[in-house]
Amino acid sequence: MAIEKEGIYEDLSLILKRIRWGAIVVGILLGILLFYYWKIQILDHRKYSALAEANRTRESLIPAPRGLILDRNAVILADNAASFKASLIRENGRDTDRSLVEIGRLLDIPPEDLRDRISRYGSLPAFRPVVIMDNLELKDVSRIEARRLELPELIVETDPRRHYPFGSLAAHVIGYLQELTEAELKSGLYPERTLGDMIGRTGVERQYQSVLVGTDGRRVEIVDSQGRSRGDVSRVEPVPGRDIRLTLDLDLQQKATTLLEGREGAIVVLDPRNGEVLALASFPTYDPNKFITRFSPQEWMDLIGRPDHPLENRSIRGLYSPGSVFKLTMALGALDSGLITEQTAFFCSGSAFIYGRPFRCWYGGGHGTLALIDAIRYSCNVYFYNVGRRMAIDQIAQYAEMLGFGDKTGVDLPGEKEGLVPSTEWSRRFRNSNWYPGETISVSIGQGPILVTPLQVALHTAIIANRGRRVVPHLLLSPAEEPESARPPAGKIRTELFNKVIQGMWKCVNEEGTARGAKVGDFEVCGKTGSTQVLGRERAELLGKDIETHSWFSGFAPRGDPRVVVTVLVEFGGMGGATAAPLAKELFALYREKYD
């Protein structure tokens, strides 16, 4: 198009073309802008509405208080205490590295420890708080709150922290809590838990995790641009876990622990009438309160690396040869099978030559001629060597299993071991060799490859006290869950045979036998001592060392109406009559004072 005016000709086609293209571009941009607004307002309305809501609200869990653990007299053994913890919300941080240095300096935590902890929970959403320090003191809370504007990612939360008011007392029974790991979370064993939650790791805390744990509550609150709470939108209160009451007697437990202090060993106090565990002590022990503070990996390695193994519950996991305590099994088995009678006697000169080699009695001078009851009373090795020569190992194994050995007792604690009762089949399967008769002679006095736990010995004693009736040891006074049933006995031994063995146990304590150190007035304690060689005589002589022995005592009282069983094991304690029996006396005396 051309325009002519006063003789001047002007061509505007290029300008009009540019205007046209400009209008198209502007139209396209306006269309894109309108589409974008439509997408935000209509298509992605819910998404951006949720994001906007998240900017002004914050959802958090309200931890449920864990159920209490009490003793039989309602004394609290595991409680909950109010505490503060410092947590980190990663999405609120601007410069993570700088923040970790500042937070580490503020709370006296190495920045590398903070990085390790945060990386461990990298799979959690960035808005989920990660706990970096427990059990804050008021000065720590004040320092954090004072730096709120500088470190918006660092917050203070309240938490019902587990507290064990008696410290290490009954720690192996109660157990401790530890953080749930990612592997455990993926296993599906804890469907209601999340990464970082504390769960029962050992003892009753683990056994009854599902009873003790509650249901967490939820809180939705309005927050400002600095993350400060401006009030709740909604709140669902947590449901506390259920309390449980144990069969433990605090006084007996304290006494047992005190008696073991400075030693390595275990004590079990059991009610033979119903299987209630009145005391279960293992020493050395530990303070379960330390596990609540999320200590460092190095602290954990130092604890589990200790040579005295304080975390090991010796009462249900310690495996020991039973020594002369096993002579009771031998006596009952030989009587029941007709291989001996109460009047059967053997001569003890201090040793016996059997299968071409000498077997010594613990009493070098010899006991002379003894019948069964006095053989139990004086714990004569030679007598039971001769009994072992008459019994086959499979026959011994049968009676040992009937009387509580070779299988778990069924106590409601995790990690119990089965022990070992040898047999010809066991020898072929695990040693790939035949069983030799000379080995039976060692087993007949509780030596050789036979292994038991202190709780199995206590159950064995309870079966004898009950004249053959078996009970299941348990720790819940009113069980929310029935304890797992132990294997029933394979046969039945006549009551009169138990009475004969009990007569020997009574004399062992009350008529100057090996267990006279356990005598308590007219309480009619019946018991048996044992001494287990840790280092054999020949080996000790070769190395030029003393013979080291574990010290055993196990017994019950009173004789006619048994109400309490006491089993004591002291590692490297020497003779059972000198060490274990006097400790048992203290517990029998305390029981009588309280209950008789």
Residues noted as catalytic: 324
- Which tokens go with 190? 């804890």
Quick check: bond before 558 cis, omega within 30? yes
- Among the listed residues 291, 368, 295, the one whose alpha carbon sits nearest the alpha carbon of residue 109: 295
Q: Which amino acid is at 81?
A: A
591 burial via Cβ count (<10 Å: 0-12, 13-18, 19+): buried
Contact 508, 514 (CB under 8 A): yes
Q: Which amino acid is at 53?
A: E
Angle at 459 between CA 455 and CA 465, to 5 degrees: 140
- The Cα–Cα gap between 384 and 344 comes to 11
Contact 220, 54 (CB under 8 A): no
What is the DSSP annotation of 230-297?
A: EEEEEEE--BPPPPEEBS--HHHHHHHHHHHTTS-EEEEEE-TTT-BEEEEEEES---GGGGGG---H
Helices and strands, number each (H, E), in the chain: 22, 21
Q: Give Cβ neighbours of residue 218 (< 8 Å, ≥ 6 apart).
A: 59, 60, 61, 62, 234, 235, 236
Residue that the structure tokens 């279960």 belong to: 280
| Phi-psi sector, 581: left (phi>0), alpha (psi -120 to 50), beta | alpha
How far apart, in Å, are the Cα atoms of 214 and each of 135, 160, 163, 237, 270?
21, 12, 16, 11, 31
- The Cα–Cα gap between 352 and 63 comes to 68
